[in-house]
Structure 1
């Protein structure tokens, strides 16, 4: 099967990162080490997909400033084709604290990301009509109307849709869920979205549920599609809709994560999503479990590096680190 491209619809941010011994408490001032670099869930995922070997097109909104120039330069370095909406607002930013255990707290300033429009996304119609596109990937740091438009176009042309429902405080409409084929929440995002649908779930105990109980909760979130709950160091849980197992032998299962020396978990979820999208686009005929195993390894390796977009490994790095052979 011919490898296909990934279209990512999402955000670009300039990350401002402080490394501290522990995360600050309310009203507290701590000393830390400062660094800055590219991020934004959309861009992180686009870089991960590109470095995993997929052809990538990234639809975004950028300001006419140093951040926008950085995005263009870095996209060119990784061979990512940009579809840019120019905005009068500044390019998006994020303030991030990372503690000595790699845990983080993040505040986003949307800036230009909030300007990404449905009309701009509609201009991707020719790409989506092209048989060379295999996956459309989106998150929730850009307006829901733009994402829904991209997914509606993808559905019209038989292209798979992958929704990463992050950040957790962003609402997913019933219409967007209906257009979603696969979704990849973490524990907090999963429970938050379930609660909006009227179902109780606790992120602190979610991973400890029996597989059948967790599978039942997944079916409530996305009855028609595949749910992949990312569980950090515990790997992930996969739940398929009945009759649509994507080549797997079971409707639900867990994929453990390999042991790594994590120093920074910023962007690990984005690494997972980009790698998963790329794997599906490059070899969609393989059982879904093989794509998941690759995405888990890719995300694990990303935590051994500091930063977000620039920490994304290349396929050869993953193969070498985990002795998997050519990806």
Structure 2
């Protein structure tokens, strides 16, 4: 089982030819409300990629909370540890350009009330093969979840961190992380290195394994004591890149818990991300296991 401790939002998505500059108004051509949030997205991605998945987080007692909960449940995610708290649910305002690029403003709402895993949450984490973390919850809560995973004993879950939004990472968090998965911009912000290979090397000074995603250029994997591995991206026409990174992280966690070696796991995650960017939305864009397997079969497993 994979557990995800993270954020759950409702995405308010505007589609337009180009995003407005400061003070400018542009006309869009579509608007959608889509359940999202980096934590919820990764949970949906993992569940659709074939893993039994549990989500730990919070939604508000507003009209959006039940919609977010239902979307997770419909994707096959266990929402028994998704609690409802007074106040609004988390919101993300997203502008998607016709090129597929996006800009996002996140308003935490209920996510900001999460202070750490409750006792029952810890029990779920300790039964998991992997724990997925991101940084849209308060940092103290993320550290507490990582601490709970690390205290699980010999068979503790692998802790996979997506350090987004990028910020300074506490030493206690890094000490508990087994695999960190930033994109190239997050890796640069964390390490101060703009060259992805140098950033990867800097990350490996603090964690055992790292993957730096490079968008259309693929992904770079490294572990301590081994040479970096670059896996190119599958060449597809992007419609909407929202949550491509979350799709990649969720699918990568599934691949690793199934025992796939790193290069094969990266191809599996890259295939999932390639499928997602061809569709609109965050959680709505994420492929099923059968779709990922079919895509890899048609491509021969190679980008």
TM-score interval (norm. to shorter)? over 0.9
Q: Is the 8 A contact 1:21 1:99 kept in 2?
A: yes
1:6 aligns with 2:5: no
SS in structure 1 at match of 2:204: helix
Deviations 1:125-153 (A, max 9, x none): 222333xx200001000012222122112
Residue among 306, 318, 324 paired with 2:280: 306
* Deviation of the 1:291 alpha carbon: 1.2
Match of 1:93 in 2: 91
Q: Is the 8 A contact 2:65 2:84 kept in 1?
A: no
Structure 1 CA distance, aligned partners of 2:147 and 2:73?
Answer: 28
* Deviation of the 1:251 alpha carbon: 3.0
Structure 2 CA distance, aligned partners of 1:324 and 1:166?
Answer: 32
Which aligned pairs between 1:185-200 and structure 2 lie closer than 5 A? 185-194=182-191, 200=192
Match of 2:139 in 1: 144
1:261 aligns with 2:229: no
TM-score (structure 1 length as normaliser): 0.86
1:230 aligns with 2:213: yes
Match of 1:293 in 2: 267
TM-score (structure 2 length as normaliser): 0.92
Q: Is the 8 A contact 1:238 1:252 kept in 2?
A: yes
Residue among 33, 45, 49 paired with 1:36: 33
Structure 2: runs of 5+ lacking an equivalent: none
Structure 1 CA distance, aligned partners of 2:200 and 2:250?
Answer: 24
Deviations 1:176-233 (A, max 9, x none): 1111110000111111111xxxxx323xxx35xxx5x45433334x2x4111000001
Structure 1: runs of 5+ lacking an equivalent: 195-199, 243-249
Which aligned pairs between 1:155-194 and structure 2 lie closer than 5 A? 155-157=150-152, 158-168=156-166, 170-194=167-191
Which aligned pairs between 1:209-248 and structure 2 lie closer than 5 A? 211=197, 213=198, 215-220=200-205, 222=206, 224-242=207-225
Match of 2:193 in 1: 201
Q: CA RMSD in A?
A: 1.9
Q: Is the 8 A contact 2:49 2:292 kept in 1?
A: no
1:320 aligns with 2:294: yes
**Counterparts in 2 of 1:25 and 1:275: CA distance versus 1, 3 Å:** same
Structure 1 CA distance, aligned partners of 2:126 and 2:214?
Answer: 35
Q: How many residues align?
A: 296
Deviations 1:32-87 (A, max 9, x none): 02111111001110000000000000001110122110122112212211212322
- Which structure carries more relative contact order (alpha carbon 8 Å, separation 6+)? 1
